[in-house]
Amino acid sequence: MYALSILPGILILLVVWKFDTVEKEPPALLAKLFLGGALTVITAVLLGLAGDLITRRIAENPRSFGCLLFDSFLFTALVEEAGFFLILWLLTWKNRAFNYTFDGIIYAVAVTVGFSTVENLIFAIRTDSAGSLTRILLSLLGHVIFGIFMGYYYGLARNAKGAGDDRGFRRRLVQAILLPTVLHGFYVFCLRAERIEYTVFLAVYMIVLTAVTVWQFLRFSREDTLIPGMEWTVSVDESTWEEESNEDQM
């Protein structure tokens, strides 16, 4: 069970990385993003506990519809997605490797897979049951999907910034945090509601969302564009590659 908590996420990250067909992202950078995402488990747990305490103090029934909605969207989805975004921003925004819009997706998936791997490993240690595998795979799938949406808008924000479009830059940054939070919050709410109708909603929701995400992901990969102002990074990488090739031939 422990291996199943780790290996699927690594495999998905490798598959996503493979679709970065224009210019591969540095493995060292992806490793840093993975570790950064793993570290966000700490803040997610601490703020999640704080949310539980607040909910219990202000509500007579912490399992009520309003409390579940509040906790799912604010103290789970927003806390986690904000943590992912912070790691993205700190490690990649000014990085020379971030020169294509699709790069944002690769980076975001690396962060979310790092978080999901640690989260699922903790869950596997605490819960050794037949339903653990389903929960682990569902959680991983959800985080990857939300990460793809975050990375897409994050890449568009970088593109807008390079083009000097400040309004578009701000709008895309908001979308990079808001949309994954909404998608994530609804997923968590349906999962925690523990009612048959919400379980059905969740199943349909994840099937439709997965299909849409895969379709859009493939389109994003095909339509990858160079970020304005980053042309020099391509020439530098090409010259470096040529020098290394000449040295190998010698």
Residue 137: per-residue pLDDT = 87
Which candidate, 112, 133, 141, places its Cα nearest to that of 38? 112
The residue written with tokens 């010259």 in the block is 239
Residue 194: per-residue pLDDT = 80
Residue 62: per-residue pLDDT = 58
Residue ranges of the chain whose pLDDT lies below 70? 1-2, 59-64, 128-131, 235-250
Tokens of 70: 């509040």
Q: In sequence order, what are the residues at sequence separation of 6 or more whose Cβ sits closer than 8 angstroms to the Cβ of residue 26?
A: 97
Q: In sequence order, what are the residues at sequence separation of 6 or more whose Cβ sits closer than 8 angstroms to the Cβ of residue 191?
A: 202
pLDDT digits (tens, 9 = 90+) for 11-58: 999 999 999 988 899 999 999 999 999 999 999 988 888 877 777 777
Residue 100, strand partner residues: 226
pLDDT digits (tens, 9 = 90+) for 120-131: 888 888 776 555
Residue 93: per-residue pLDDT = 96
Q: Which DSSP string do the residues of 6-62 spell out, in sequence order?
A: HHHHHHHHHHHHHT--SSPPPHHHHHHHHHHHHHHHHHHHHHHHHHHHHHHHH-S-T
Residue 5: per-residue pLDDT = 78
* pTM of the complete model beyond 0.85: yes
